[in-house]
Structure 1
Amino acid sequence: MARVRSIAPEELPGDLAAIYREFAGDYGPFANQVAVFAHVPAALRHLMPMLLELRAAATLPKRYLEIAIVVVSNLNACHYCVAHHKPFLAVTGLSEGGIDRIMDWQEHPELDATDKLVVEYAIAAWENSSRIPEALFRRLRAAFTEAQIVELTLRITLCGFFNRFNDAMGIEEEAEVRAAE
């Protein structure tokens, strides 16, 4: 149970309730997380629609997005986010065992060169954002558009925010996520 009361969508004004329901339903099984964010209407009003809009725009291929999220979530030991994003990554073709070994990326048989580049960048952007080698950025520019690089960086750093928020607030996995593990 989270460290604060979960707010039900019925307790919110219509516009916020709609965002809550859309995010908790369409984006994935994130009801426990959105029930905590509902305490701060501005967060619910801006963060969740931004994630929905980013998904709809599909600027960054889902595989690279999910690799980055799982890598950063592993770096931060955020079980909630790893458990939620492993199924999304599995849809992109990685096996369950391959996902579990993603941090051993350099010799990973299921990752291609671009996948490995995403892992390398996710680690660098999260752990040493002020010391990313220019050579790594040159490789990113060869593989991605500038918009994709910006979104990848946004999602890496936003993932770290969600990891820390979820852990600090004690947000537990939803029943359907626990059942799938």
Structure 2
Amino acid sequence: MSDSPARPPISRYPVPKLAELPDDIRTRIQAVQEKSGFIPNVFLALAHRPDEFRAFFAYHDALMDKPGGLSQAEREMIVVATSAANQCHYCVIAHGAILRIRARDPLIADQVAINWRKADISARQKAMLAFAMKISQHSQDIQEADFQHLGELGFSDDDIWDIAAISAFFGLSNRMANFMSMRCNDEFHLLGRVPRQG
């Protein structure tokens, strides 16, 4: 018999069964399950409020799946760095896994989460994260000099908007995850840490 405590629920709020969900939400969740092999708990937890689920993932997709000057890995770097500052267990672990996969680097997510300033990333990416952190923690201090510095590094005005919007959006996500005591899937802990076989 194990002395380890029972696993807590994935949210302090009720988690609906898939069969009970509106068709569009159930279809979205099943597509994610088919692609990843499991259902990330954020989908189930947010499905408690279907209208907010739709709004959340529409904005998420608009920011994270779009083409532009930021790579998919860089978008995930922003999420991991700002989520660590906001002490969001769920987002650091889940998006850390996605970052490892997108960057094809098993070390990068831990480096960015612990201290992005010392991570093995480019000076341009460190400037991107410094701006993202300023948006996350001190947005009232944003000045024209911030835009000028990023522009000198090759970021377009749209890229700068993306950095800010991702940081701000995941500020919402971090706070909701913490408020709900949302538990991360165990599967995320191992994803992208060991190269795939074959």
1:39-78 paired onto structure 2 within 5 Å: 39-59=48-68, 60-78=70-88
Asked whether the 8 Å contact 2:73–2:99 carries over to 1, the reply is yes
Alpha-carbon distance between aligned partners in 2 of 1:106 and 1:33, rounded to the nearest angstrom: 29
The verdict on how the C-alpha distance between 1:81 and 1:128 changes in structure 2, with shifts beyond 3 A counting, is same
Partner of 1:117: 127
Which SS does the other structure have where 2:65 is aligned?
A: helix
Partner of 1:167: 178
Asked whether the 8 Å contact 1:126–1:156 carries over to 2, the reply is yes
AA partner of residue 100 (structure 2):
A
Q: Is 2:169 the counterpart of 1:158?
A: yes
Alpha-carbon distance between aligned partners in 2 of 1:87 and 1:39, rounded to the nearest angstrom: 25
1:178 CA displacement:
4.2
1:101 CA displacement:
3.1
Alpha-carbon distance between aligned partners in 1 of 2:83 and 2:37, rounded to the nearest angstrom: 17
Instruction: Give the fraction of aligned pairs with identical amino acids, expressed as a percent.
Output: 23
1:29 CA displacement:
5.8
AA partner of residue 151 (structure 2):
R
Of 11-20 and 125-134, the range deviating more from structure 2: 11-20
TM-score normalised per structure 1: 0.85
C-alpha RMSD of matched pairs (Å)? 2.4
Q: Which structure: larger Rg?
A: 2
Which SS does the other structure have where 1:128 is aligned?
A: helix
| More helix by percentage | 1
Q: Which of residues 14, 20, 24 in structure 2 aligns to 1:11?
A: 20
Asked whether the 8 Å contact 1:19–1:45 carries over to 2, the reply is no
Alpha-carbon distance between aligned partners in 2 of 1:27 and 1:158, rounded to the nearest angstrom: 23
User: Can you give the 5+ residue segments of structure 1 that lack an aligned partner in the other structure?
Assistant: none
1:7 CA displacement:
1.3
Number of positions where the alignment pairs a residue of Structure 1 with one of Structure 2: 179
Asked whether the 8 Å contact 1:80–1:166 carries over to 2, the reply is yes
The verdict on how the C-alpha distance between 1:72 and 1:116 changes in structure 2, with shifts beyond 3 A counting, is same
